[in-house]
Amino acid sequence: MVAGYNTISMGTGRKEFHPKKPRPGLEEYIKEAGQGVLKQIGGAENVDEAVIGNFAATRFNKQGNMAAFMPYIDAGLRYKPAVRVEGACGSGALALATGIRSVLAETADVVLVMGVEVQNTVKAIYGADILAAAGWAKDRKQGHAYYFPGKFSDRAKAYQEKFGKDKPREAMAQWYVNAIENARLCPTAQEYHNVSDELQACGMMNPNPRGFVDSLNVYDCSKVSDGASAIAVVSEEGLKRVGIPKSEAIEVIGMGQAEDDITKAPDDPTILATTREAVRKALESAGITKEQLGTVECHDCFSIAGILAVEAIGLAPHGGGAEFILQGNTKRTGMIPFNTTGGLVGWGHPTGATGVHQAITIWEQLTGKAGDSQIPISHNRPYGLTINMGGDDKSLVSIVFKRAE
């Protein structure tokens, strides 16, 4: 993968955002991200295929047929094959997986892969209902008004009942602090303008069950975001075609995909079992161990998901994720930095774009292009891992990367 480009993750928290003023739409975000990649790879003539990941434009924007926006980016993409893929909040990584498979199948040497979502088109409570489509429709009728915050609140409550309340609450607060501190270093992040000096206090705020959900506060949650991310997935021949040296690319060395039954509740709400399986497959495919990972981009739609992801990767035992985070291991200066541009909590969560954004962050880190958010990548831990989740641990894609040589 090479030539990543992120638009700003737009929403509350950005100085430019005003809910009553006109904002960019789907086509503007698609064009900006697409042209951002094309400029780096020598233009549309070098692209063989395109893939776009999107979750719910049919509801948020009354727009379907997303693949037909590809020629809108550049006339040179007219008549070239394109496809739209969907897997809820995992749509971005599914788009990457689709592009990877095209290259492996030798139907393409250069695939333009994009994810996009524009969600600030409705009030939050209506948006929560739209996003609830990532869960089972029959279950949604019985669920909380804020459906997915309710689902992960249930996970947080079960975790605290099993392992105690204090450490998990402190770790969730620390996760929020880490996310905002990292986002402040990334100009495209939704929380880039956050200047609060009370991050710990915000993270420790008691949940308000009457106004929101039982076991999460609003700072435990990723925000409503608009944005697009795009990157080129290329073969070695494709890399030569676009004229970019290997040193500026990252190699996909392993991928794991896993799906669970959307109609069933988790066997144990304190475990992200499908995440665990996708990561296991990715590491096995890559032929590496978790001890060789230098950085991780995980799907922290809610702070409790960060704790559970640490355990799903195997970095801490079941029940030990909170302590692992409180020891500073996931900070940008820690043993294995997580979400170095803020993750979903800090950078933002334009659902269909998130998996692509994660890959771009890994590309930037492993090639030294991360600017102020750059972390050291050691020779002993040279690999990056992404985990993109659709629904309540239902549709998972995990990918392992290293700098190309």
Domain of residue 317, CATH code: 3.40.47.10
Per-residue confidence (pLDDT) for residue 141, from 0 to 100? 73
pLDDT at 157: 98
pLDDT at site 26: 97
Q: Are residues 118 and 212 in the same domain?
A: no
**pLDDT tens for the chain, residues 1 to 405:** 999 999 999 999 999 999 999 999 999 999 999 999 999 999 999 999 999 999 999 999 999 999 999 999 999 999 999 999 999 999 999 999 999 999 999 999 999 999 999 999 999 889 989 999 999 998 887 778 889 999 999 999 999 999 999 999 999 999 999 999 999 999 999 999 999 999 999 999 999 999 999 999 999 999 999 999 999 999 999 999 999 999 999 999 999 999 999 999 999 999 999 999 999 999 999 999 999 999 999 999 999 999 999 999 999 999 999 999 999 999 999 999 999 999 999 999 999 999 999 999 999 999 999 999 999 999 999 999 999 999 999 999 999 999 999
Query: Helix, strand, coil shares of the chain as percentages rounded to 5?
Result: 40, 20, 40
Under a CB-based contact definition with an 8 Å cutoff, are residues 74 and 43 in contact? yes
**pLDDT value at position 142?**
75
The answer to whether residue 357 is domain-embedded is yes
Q: In which region does residue 348 sit, left (phi positive, over 0), alpha (psi from -120 to 50) or beta (all else)?
A: left
- Secondary structure letter of residue 149 according to DSSP: H
3-state class (DSSP) for residue 147? helix
Question: Is residue 296 within 8 Å of 315, Cβ to Cβ?
Answer: no
pTM of the full structure = 0.98
Does residue 62 lie within any of the structural domains?
A: yes
Taking a C-beta distance cutoff of 8 angstroms, is the pair 192, 17 a contact? no
Same domain, 27 and 97: yes
Residues 207 and 337 in one domain: yes
Give the 3-state secondary structure of residue 257. Answer: strand
Q: How far apart are CA 306 and CA 303, in angstroms?
A: 5
In a domain, 259, yes or no: yes
Domain span at residue 292 reads 135-222+250-403
Instruction: Say yes or no: 105 and 201 in one domain.
Output: no
Q: What is the pLDDT of residue 81?
A: 98
Determine, yes or no, domain membership for 256.
Answer: yes
Q: Are residues 193 and 238 in the same domain?
A: no
Residues 203 and 342 in one domain: yes
Provide the pLDDT for residue 125: 85
Q: Is residue 130 part of a domain?
A: no
Identify whether 288 is part of a domain: yes
| Same-domain pairing of 167 and 309 | yes
Type and span of the H or E element at 345: helix 343-346
Q: What pLDDT shows up at residue 315?
A: 98
Q: 71 and 172, same structural domain?
A: no
74, 168: one domain:
no
- The answer as to whether 129 is a domain residue is no
| Distance (Å, whole) CA 362 – CA 273 | 24
11 lies in the same domain as 50: yes
Our count of domains for the chain comes to 2
Q: Are residues 66 and 190 in the same domain?
A: no
CB atoms within 10 A of CB 297: 29
Judge if 240 and 310 occupy the same domain: no
Residue 58 forms part of a structural domain: yes
Residues β-bridged to residue 385: 296, 400
